[in-house]
Chains A and B, each alone.
Chain A
Amino acid sequence: MYKILEKQVLSDVTKLMVIEAPHVAQKAKAGQFIIVRIDENGERIPLTIADFDRKAGTITIIFQEVGKSTLQLGAMKAGDSVSTFVGPLGHPTEIENFGTVVCMGGGVGIAPIYPIARALKEGGNKVISIIGARTKDLLFWEDKMKAVSDELHICTDDGSHGRKALVTEPLKEVLEDKSRAVAKVWAIGPAVMMKFVSQTTKPFGVPTIVSLNTIMIDGTGMCGGCRVLLEDGAQFVCVDGPEFDGHKVDWGNLLSRLSFYKEEEKAAVDHYKNHICNLDKAVAEGGK
């Protein structure tokens, strides 16, 4: 069992947890991910490593509550434990001094882009960061991103904070500004956002790294469920990734594969909420 040492509510639906897992913390690097399973009946969910502390033996994860498992995890408290926590999985981000780089974080993707931006900054790069979300309530870590960036742009779809724009707008302006000479772009966020970031950078010929979060079970190359189509054939996100060249990804195929279990995901959320309601009812009745 792996104990939740700390929990923070970053937004209504975004939670941060610090989990005790010395065997993972020992090896973890920016860009890698872990797999967590809440209990005996739980599914194995891949989550990017947001931070780690080797001395304390802890891993920080940040997730958005979208399906049954993340809702359930989000309802857990400091002191509770999860039954499976395995990693670090996938390849770490390759950090070098590239010159000027852009780090893009969309929604919950701000979490995994942060340690990459930090490492790039420490590696001597000029870091331009662009973060965005649907609305103000889904944004977090503005200060942390600011601290590791030479320049920070903030966007919301509804204009409730920062600029009312998609993250691709400031990105395009940065790319068009010849004085900046962007060497590389990293983008982490919803698949649709990464797709449009890749489409934006392509005409400029700027290499663009995306971190894919596909449907996965074991995370070690065994099930093949995470396979992604690239220009030169299929690869497994868990062992070949999670980072890929955004210009080579077949986004249509990726988006379609992500939706394969939509109905089941909805059924699972309904089942969970119904179960919770019944529990509440039972507790209420028991109290009378």
Chain B
Amino acid sequence: MKIPRQPMLHQDEHVRRANFDEVALGYTEETAKKEAERCLQCKKPLCSEGCPVGVLIPQFIKALREGDMPKAVEAMKVKNNLPAICGRVCPQESQCEGKCILGKKGEPVAIGRLERFVGDYELAHRTCPLNAAPPTGKKVAVVGTGPAGLTCAVDVAREGHTVTMFESLHGPGGVLIYGIPEFRLPKSVVHGEIDYAAKCLGIEIRSDHVIGRTITLDELLAEYDAVFLGTGAGLPSFMRIPGINLNGVMSANEFLTRVNLMKGYLFPNYDTPVKAGRKVAVIGAGNVAMDAARCSARIQHLHAQQNGTQPGEVHIVYRRSKEEIPARAEEVHHAMEEGIIFDLLTNPIEIMGDSTGKVVGMRCIRMELGEPDASGRRKPVPIAGSEFEMEVDTVIMALGTNPNPIVFVDAEGLERTKYGTAVADNDTGRTKKQRVWAGGDVVTGAATVISAMGAGKRAAADINKFLKGEAAW
């Protein structure tokens, strides 16, 4: 009999609205093995081709199926340093699982869930596979401790080079800590993966160091043989409409940083406050928008429970239709289950405030889809005369982000595009400045965790070649 795709347990949608605990609960050993049985072990694995870092998928699934977990971990870590993270946040439906042959006629192997299972096993047992080679005496600086930087640092350290990582915030992890909420990616998982880098490979992490201010890129180059920039894209975009500076309008970055990094939902036990009003509008429909909306709903429910009141409303306001929503299908599904209201084909044109400067409403206009634009998606066009007002007290802008310009301070020769991203070769990560590599969102603009990891990996391979003398600059 054919085995169906194994479901994963989830926290009840009504219960989870009032907590920040993880939503998806993962596989048990039994369901993981059963799901692994479904893999056809293709000779030519399309799944691996669909993965930006080329994870050895059939190999790790085979080991898992045979119950050899250390071997499964080893196969995983050949290509992926952060499986417990990727298993949770990768858009598998459009990558590995999107290519799985079983998906042609039925449901693909749940590769992401299996990856998560293997990653969690490794975190729990800390097998430290693939330890470092003997020291080479070469020094590498990795700027930014998010997915691109972590991946690059681990791959470089494994070759025996001394790696120092620089982080501007008070702790490592980048967007994995400040951006992605606890209920989607528990911080303990991120810290576990960072510990692997620090403890198994001896990578030094220097927090509270802002490149461009505390140290410049040129100063790093004087001390290190190679520098990798994985500084991400943290500069928030705001709509150019009236009212964006009113009280109650914030970037998703600010909101999520207050919630995730500073644990604002535990205020006043943690000192940083966070407000989610009675009626929240999140502008945009990417993964960040879903995260902001779902955090808002949780804070509303927590406050309602504490005060014995009714929770408010959270809206996703998006100018295109459901088909164009850029967030992962699973996240959209979770958001809908949690009661988030979707206002599609709707675009804000003005945010309105009261006499004290607080947000009280938003003027919007209905949109329709016209001809495809440069992105290949149908361009939203305003419908004349369709303006209407929405009552809101909080507006969160989740419109994408750009690289922060301060990293480029005193870094002559580091070329940038007109979008503010660093110019770097796609295959090697080499920038226009000697001995400087870059990868992840600082090069591509806001993208996914796994694509940043892929870039970190390619750059690490080239840095290793360069330091060995196998490749000249």
- Which residues of A are at the interface with B, using a C-beta cutoff of 8 A? 23-24, 26-27, 37, 41-44, 68-69, 83-89, 217-218, 220-225, 227-229, 234, 239, 250, 252-253, 256-257, 259-261, 264-265, 267-268, 271-272
For B245, give the chain A residue with the smallest CB separation: A229
| Interface SS of A by simple majority | mixed
Chain A residues within an 8 Å CB radius of B244: 234
Does B271 contact A224, Cβ atoms closer than 8 Å?
no
Chain B, interface size category, equals 35 or more
Judge whether B31 is part of the interface by a CB distance below 8 angstroms. Answer: no
| A64: min CB distance to chain B, Å | 17
Does B214 contact A86, Cβ atoms closer than 8 Å?
yes
Does A217 contact B236, Cβ atoms closer than 8 Å?
no
User: Could you count the A-B residue pairs with CB atoms below 8 Å apart for me: how many are there?
Assistant: 128
Judge whether B357 is part of the interface by a CB distance below 8 angstroms. Answer: yes
Judge whether B238 is part of the interface by a CB distance below 8 angstroms. Answer: yes
For B269, give the chain A residue with the smallest CB separation: A41
Partner of B208, one of A84, A217, A222, A265: A84
| B12: min CB distance to chain A, Å | 30
Does A23 contact B234, Cβ atoms closer than 8 Å?
no
Most chain A beta-carbon contacts within 10 A, residue among B213, B238, B270: B213
Chain A residues within an 8 Å CB radius of B404: 220-222, 239
Judge whether B257 is part of the interface by a CB distance below 8 angstroms. Answer: yes
Judge whether B71 is part of the interface by a CB distance below 8 angstroms. Answer: no
Judge whether B421 is part of the interface by a CB distance below 8 angstroms. Answer: no
Does A223 contact B253, Cβ atoms closer than 8 Å?
yes
Known: A41-B271, A222-B235. A239 touches B257 (CB 8 A): no
Does B405 contact A221, Cβ atoms closer than 8 Å?
yes
Partner of B273, one of A221, A253, A261: A261
Partner of B210, one of A43, A89, A227, A259: A89
Judge whether B250 is part of the interface by a CB distance below 8 angstroms. Answer: yes
Question: Complex Cα distance A37/B271, Å?
Answer: 10
| A4: min CB distance to chain B, Å | 16
For A223, give the chain B residue with the smallest CB separation: B254
Chain B residues within an 8 Å CB radius of A264: 267-268, 273, 275
Most chain A beta-carbon contacts within 10 A, residue among B210, B244, B270: B210
Does A239 contact B405, Cβ atoms closer than 8 Å?
yes
Chain A residues within an 8 Å CB radius of B356: 256
Does A84 contact B253, Cβ atoms closer than 8 Å?
no
Interface contacts beyond A225-B250, A268-B267, A272-B268: sample of 16 additional A-B pairs, CB < 8 Å, sorted by A: A44-B272, A69-B271, A86-B209, A86-B210, A88-B214, A89-B213, A220-B234, A222-B234, A223-B250, A224-B250, A225-B251, A234-B245, A252-B357, A259-B247, A261-B275, A268-B268
Does B258 contact A268, Cβ atoms closer than 8 Å?
no
For B407, give the chain A residue with the smallest CB separation: A220
Judge whether B169 is part of the interface by a CB distance below 8 angstroms. Answer: yes
Task: List B residues 387-406 near A (Cβ within 8 Å).
Answer: 404-406
For A270, give the chain B residue with the smallest CB separation: B268
For A236, give the chain B residue with the smallest CB separation: B235
Judge whether B6 is part of the interface by a CB distance below 8 angstroms. Answer: no
Question: Complex Cα distance A267/B247, Å?
Answer: 19
Does B236 contact A224, Cβ atoms closer than 8 Å?
yes
Question: Complex Cα distance A223/B168, Å?
Answer: 13
Chain B residues within an 8 Å CB radius of A86: 168, 170, 208-210, 214
Chain A residues within an 8 Å CB radius of B236: 222-224
Chain A residues within an 8 Å CB radius of B170: 37, 44, 83-84, 86
Partner of A43, one of B238, B253, B262: B262
Does B234 contact A24, Cβ atoms closer than 8 Å?
no
Question: Complex Cα distance A234/B240, Å?
Answer: 10
| Interface SS of B by simple majority | loop
Does B271 contact A68, Cβ atoms closer than 8 Å?
yes
Question: Complex Cα distance A7/B262, Å?
Answer: 27
Question: Complex Cα distance A151/B129, Å?
Answer: 70
Does A225 contact B214, Cβ atoms closer than 8 Å?
no
Does A224 contact B214, Cβ atoms closer than 8 Å?
no
Question: Complex Cα distance A89/B273, Å?
Answer: 23
Task: List B residues 199-251 near A (Cβ within 8 Å).
Answer: 207-210, 213-215, 234-236, 238, 244-245, 247-248, 250-251
What are 19 inter-chain pairs, A to B, with CB distance below 8 A?
A27-B213, A27-B214, A41-B263, A68-B268, A86-B210, A87-B213, A89-B213, A217-B272, A220-B406, A222-B178, A223-B250, A224-B238, A224-B254, A225-B250, A234-B245, A250-B245, A256-B358, A267-B273, A268-B273
Chain A residues within an 8 Å CB radius of B267: 264, 267-268
Does A225 contact B271, Cβ atoms closer than 8 Å?
no
Question: Complex Cα distance A200/B375, Å?
Answer: 52
| A84: min CB distance to chain B, Å | 4
| B51: min CB distance to chain A, Å | 29
Known: A68-B271, A220-B404, A267-B268. A24 touches B214 (CB 8 A): yes
Report the 8 A-B pairs with minimum CB-CB distance, sorted nearest first.
Answer: A256-B357, A264-B273, A223-B254, A86-B208, A222-B234, A271-B268, A43-B271, A224-B251
For A72, give the chain B residue with the smallest CB separation: B271
Chain B residues within an 8 Å CB radius of A68: 268, 271
Most chain B beta-carbon contacts within 10 A, residue among A86, A221, A261, A271: A221
Chain B residues within an 8 Å CB radius of A27: 213-215
Question: Complex Cα distance A260/B358, Å?
Answer: 8
Question: Complex Cα distance A86/B171, Å?
Answer: 12
Question: Complex Cα distance A222/B170, Å?
Answer: 14
Does A23 contact B406, Cβ atoms closer than 8 Å?
no
- Could you give, for residues 88-129 of chain B, a 1 whenever the CB lies within 8 Å of some chain A CB and a 0 otherwise? 000000000000000000000000000000000000000000
Question: Complex Cα distance A27/B215, Å?
Answer: 8
Question: Complex Cα distance A224/B251, Å?
Answer: 6
For A255, give the chain B residue with the smallest CB separation: B357
Question: Complex Cα distance A41/B267, Å?
Answer: 9
Known: A222-B253, A224-B236, A256-B356. A239 touches B406 (CB 8 A): yes
Question: Complex Cα distance A85/B208, Å?
Answer: 7
| B85: min CB distance to chain A, Å | 21
For A90, give the chain B residue with the smallest CB separation: B213
Question: Complex Cα distance A250/B243, Å?
Answer: 13
Known: A222-B404, A224-B236, A252-B357. A257 touches B247 (CB 8 A): yes
Question: Complex Cα distance A271/B207, Å?
Answer: 30
| A75: min CB distance to chain B, Å | 14
Question: Complex Cα distance A234/B244, Å?
Answer: 9
Most chain A beta-carbon contacts within 10 A, residue among B208, B215, B270, B358: B208
| A49: min CB distance to chain B, Å | 12
| A74: min CB distance to chain B, Å | 15
Does A43 contact B234, Cβ atoms closer than 8 Å?
no
Partner of B168, one of A24, A85, A220: A220
Chain B residues within an 8 Å CB radius of A85: 208
Question: Complex Cα distance A112/B295, Å?
Answer: 38
